[in-house]
A and B are shown apart, each in its own frame.
Chain A
Amino acid sequence: MNRLINMFKGTQGTFIGLILLVAFFSIFNPYFFQIRNFVNIFDQCTVLGVMALGMTAVIIIGGIDLSVGSILALAMMMTGWVWKDFGVPLHYACLLGLFVGTLAGSINGMLVSYLRLPAFIATLAMLSAARGLANIFTDGKQIYGFPEWLTNLSVIRHFGYINITTVIFIVLAIISWILLSYRKEGRNLFAIGGNKEVARLSGINVKVTTVMVYTISGFLSGLAGLLMMARLNAGVPQAGFTYELDVIAAVVIGGASLNGGIGSIPQTIVGVFIIGVLRNGLNLMGFSPFVQGMVIGGVIVFAVALDTLKTKER
């Protein structure tokens, strides 16, 4: 029990926020507090959540990755394109999609590490380039007609509730949490985010680590693209448009600092669910996505302001 509490240490504030949100929607909408709906929320969170895992690492080292939404589309379209136009079996096509996402991430990392571009600029360029490339494959057209097993990943609910895409998210979340908290490779990220030069003089290979972190973020974005493809049962070149903002929002709402050095997977997951619950709850209450956007904006300000006030007191 103690260990469980420890795991969510530092998340108390946002965690309470999440519970309040759930309570709020439960009171005002009879359809909200139902297992069916919770399964639904979980489902809607997987794509965002998988990307947020990588973004957490990026933000901990004091970086930013604006290209996640575009890499999602790039991996998705690459997969669909080689499957549709070249007849590559879908599972191989998926591997190729993942590889392209990973490659895009590693290019981000090398631009940041070796060309010393600011992360904002490097990934902004990738945001533009990857989105362009995603559209080039099919000239901006969507891809349909995937084999059934793909969509089954998100449709079939094992044990009555849980589908494979959700399982993938949960497994990845646990792996990332262990990596960040209980592996030296993960602990090193906090040192890099705290002060790059201190980390370097402490014997950490900052350049290689930085490349690795962006590469992982690219890989996870590519994977998110495949998960989304399974959910949509289609390849859509506009998929994931402006997702980078939701992903960054989730990580920041969770309590990570854009200055680097602070952040954790449990916190990020709480952040992801806050966004997921907000969207789902507001949706059920009949608010448009535009209103949802406004509310999320407000929540970002509220969460970060609360955090800043807390640190100031100290």
Chain B
Amino acid sequence: MSDNRGLVVKNVSKTYGNTRVLNNVSFEVKPGEVVALLGENGAGKSTVSGIIAGSVTPDQGGEMEWKGEEYKPNSPGYAIQKGIGLIHQETRLLRELSVTENVFVGKLLTKNGLVDFKTMNNIAKKQLNRLGLDISPNQLVRNLKMSAQQQIEIAKALCLNSELLIMDEPTSSLGETETNFLFDKIRQLKNEGVAFIYISHRLEEIEQIADKIIVFRDGNLITKYDNARIAIDTIVNDMVGRDVDRIFPEITNDSSKEVLKVDNLNSFDGSFENINFDLKKGEILGIAGLVGAGRTEIIRSICGADKLKSGNIFMEGKNIKVLSPEDAIKNGIVMVPEDRKSLGLLLDQSNTQNLTISNFDVFLKNGWVWPRLLKSFAIKAIKFMGVKGNESQNVHELSGGNQQKLLISKWISRQPKVLILDEPTRGIDVGARHAIYEIIKKIAENGLSIIIVSSDLEEVIGLSHRILVLSRGKQKKILDNINISRVEIMKMATN
């Protein structure tokens, strides 16, 4: 056994064409250590982790060492073989295959030329147990919950004897309980000597899990902290290089005019029961709860994406039937869904197409589509939200933050009465988040009523006038947002 210094990265850079996305970066990750890489989108975190995991080739000149030996991965396969695994933000599992097959994909064990399922199942079972997971290795991945799927990714890495795990935004789709569970596992593996590189936008959780913090900005390594007890403001300043902290705008609302009211909503699959609330003009209602509490399901049914089993929806006092998104939109209820890439945007089509597709009824006469009208509508919508991009670009060329702004713009361009935002800032960097908060303030003060669903409790507290707390599909309480604490809401939500 060589001396165990873990991973040493020395003077590594990466250039694409003329753009230097990573500039002379050096750091170390020791065994049993969790190093958090922080930075805005495009700061260089993903490039670094890609280089370490063998999927990105660095420029000449830098070098890496792994367990005391020179380390030059030329493919992800090589990195995995050396014990370095990357767990992506979006799980990359084969949904139609079993847990075992997913774990061993590409390196199936064989016996006499045939696939040796028995041995593989045993190994997979052992690693699942090591993580404290009660999942049968024969189960198909598509039958597992999102959070469980992520654990499978970790188990997969462990089966390959990984000693360094790179986790890219592992908690972005997890609720508080799942996140805590994941952290327990990380701590456990840490004690067994596994090292972690941990990438996250959720600064609040860094303190809980990281031993060291490294901050990137524009491809440069800005600071290294030897402990994780650093004030969030300080980190944010390092990240953005200017004073933008998570200040939520003060949003005033004194209207008493009721816009939306829902009465005794029930879902078919039991994901929520007996939901009642109302929404005033210009008011922001937050919906808080753990993952699986029914947050997304409630708003999906209000905007017609899913059908309700029973219940009434009143729009400005009128009982409306919402059987499809079409119905909801006609009545002025629109939703920005949680997963903008698969539910919100036509990624391979132009910004104009994306902005106009739901709004033909607003700006066309008798359904005639004149390119000039399309263009002017799109330009106006892009300008209003300050999207960095032009009308003929394809959406996939925009950054996450700009995609989200575009999506919000698409819906507010038709001047709805109720805007529903599901996870409005998921996977978006600090700067863009702030811009989105300002936009929310602006449109709320213009009299648009808003419902916000977010896993980020601070966001819900920071933006909402009132907060509806859910626990396992049941409505706990609607709180007026005056000095409510996170703890208070969490208590209710976990109850």
Contact = CB atoms under 8 A, between A and B. Distances in A.
A203 interface: yes
A184 B325 contact: no
Contacts of A262: 348
Interface stretch (A105-113, A161-169, A188-196): A188-196
Nearest to B410: A202
B353 A191 contact: yes
A184 B358 contact: no
A169 to B, nearest CB: 24
23 contacts: A182-B368, A187-B353, A187-B356, A187-B357, A188-B357, A188-B360, A190-B346, A190-B349, A191-B353, A191-B357, A194-B347, A195-B342, A195-B347, A197-B343, A198-B345, A200-B324, A201-B305, A201-B337, A201-B343, A203-B326, A203-B328, A203-B329, A203-B330
Given A191-B353, A203-B326, A185 B346 contact: no
B369 A201 contact: no
A26 interface: no
A182, A186, A203: most-surrounded residue (chain B CB, <10 A)? A203
B97 to A, nearest CB: 21
Nearest to B326: A203
A194 B358 CA distance: 14
B367 A185 contact: yes
Contacts of A200: 305, 324-325
Interface residues of A, number: 23
Contacts of A194: 346-349, 353
A181 interface: yes
Contacts of B353: 187, 190-191, 194
A96 interface: no
B326 A204 contact: yes
A182 B349 contact: no
B370 interface: yes
The size class of the interface chain B forms with chain A is 20 to 34
B284 interface: no
A261 interface: yes
A232 B140 CA distance: 56
B50 interface: no
Nearest to A260: B348
A262 B347 CA distance: 13
Contacts of A199: 346, 357
Interface in A85-109: none
Interface string A258-279: 0001100000000000000000
Contact of B360 (A187, A195, A198, A205): A187
B369 A182 contact: yes
A141 interface: no
B344 to A, nearest CB: 6
A211 B294 CA distance: 33
A183 interface: yes
Query: What are the 5 tightest A-B residue pairs by CB atom distance, in nearest-first order?
Result: A194-B346, A202-B358, A184-B360, A203-B329, A184-B367
Interface string B364-405: 100111100000000000000000000000000000000000
Contacts of B368: 182-184
Contacts of A182: 368-370
B421 to A, nearest CB: 14
